Amino acid sequence: KDDGNGGGQCQRMGELTANDPKHFEKEPMSDTRVYVHKYKPTEEDVQWEHNGVVATVINGEAISVVHNRIADAGFAELTI
């Protein structure tokens, strides 16, 4: 029996009517969750920031390499 609502076949069960499971189509859902990295600085971190010194590049590493390492650690919005 057709339920008249475009739901396909129905089976009558007592007073309840249920659509035949063969006719269900699952709508794809996009995952829109965004992970926000939260960082609580220590007092030492705050002092370094106030002094304008956050890090010193040693061993002649390229700035782009250092930037990628910092981004990999979760600080993607950091400007060098």
Contact 9, 2 (CB under 8 A): yes
- pLDDT tens digit sequence for 13-47: 454 444 555 555 556 666 778 777 777 888 888 88
**pLDDT given at position 5:** 52
Residue 65 has pLDDT above 80, yes or no: yes
CA distances, 25 to each of 8, 16, 63 (Å): 11, 21, 51
**pLDDT given at position 54:** 66
Model confidence at 67, pLDDT cuts 50, 70, 90, reads confident
* 9 beta partners: 2
Model confidence at 60, pLDDT cuts 50, 70, 90, reads confident
